[in-house]
Amino acid sequence: MYKLVLIRHGESTWNLENRFTGWTDVELTPTGVAQAQEAGRLLKAAGYEFDVCYTSVLKRAIWTLWHALDQLDRTWLPIVNDWRLNERHYGALQGLNKADMARQYGDAQVLQWRRSYDTPPPALEPGDPRGQRQDPRYAKLAPEQVPLTECLKDTVARVLPCWNEVLAPAIKRGERLLVSAHGNSIRALVKYLDGISDADIVGLNIPNGIPLVYELDADMKPIRREYLGDAEAIAKAAAAVANQGKA
């Protein structure tokens, strides 16, 4: 039996402001820092040990990992940054307030942009300053690899190669992995691991800063999964994520 631990980053400044974030690089709030620290404490109390950590190239996920490792007293663990673990790109919605968009376009439209499997938000223009095509962290990528918008289907298409080429082989080698990523990159992994349908993935919400533990068999199929921590607090955190896009 193998284990995999996933953590969605703690609350960011744009989570707090209820804004679409995507690939925009924003800070953690003090609450987000506390959530990341609590994730580390939960993992330490449960006796988890890790060999290597993976995260995106966005600082809210990176700092979440750092704070969790600090609580685990494992800041010396190797960390691998992979852009494929980035949040879903929200295109022209990036920076806009979710509730404002719901008032303008309706709750159903915003829910579709946020949660549908194959409907992307409006795309950015290639030269839009909110885009990332001139960002040095993506300099080695082809322009078409840096999206102008994404639906969850697109996010799955870039996350799964990371799983198949990097994460799953590491787990099979016996390495104990801690992955700090984002709501939609984790949704992509959960969809694949749990075999969630395109329709049902709409209702899945990943709470901030709460470790999600998978136990996997030799074929990397889930035996069980659970969030660490208080069940009521976990339910409230997931509900808060679900309510972000409502007017």
Has 87 been annotated as catalytic? Answer: yes
Has 67 been annotated as catalytic? Answer: no
Beta-bridge partners for 227 = 212
SS (H, E, C) the chain: CEEEEEEECCCEHHHHCCECCCCCCCCECHHHHHHHHHHHHHHHHCCCCCCEEEECCCHHHHHHHHHHHHHHCCCCCCEEECHHHCCCCCHHHCCCEHHHHHHHHCHHHHHHHHHCCCCCCCCCCCCCCCCCCCCHHHCCCCHHHCCCCCCHHHHHHHHHHHHHHHHHHHHHCCCCEEEEECHHHHHHHHHHHHCCCCCHHHHCCCCCCCCEEEEECCCCCEEEEEECCCHHHHHHHHHHHHHHHCC
Q: How many residues does the chain have?
A: 247
Catalytic: which of 11, 38, 67, 87?
Answer: 87
Give the residue numbers marked as catalytic.
9, 87
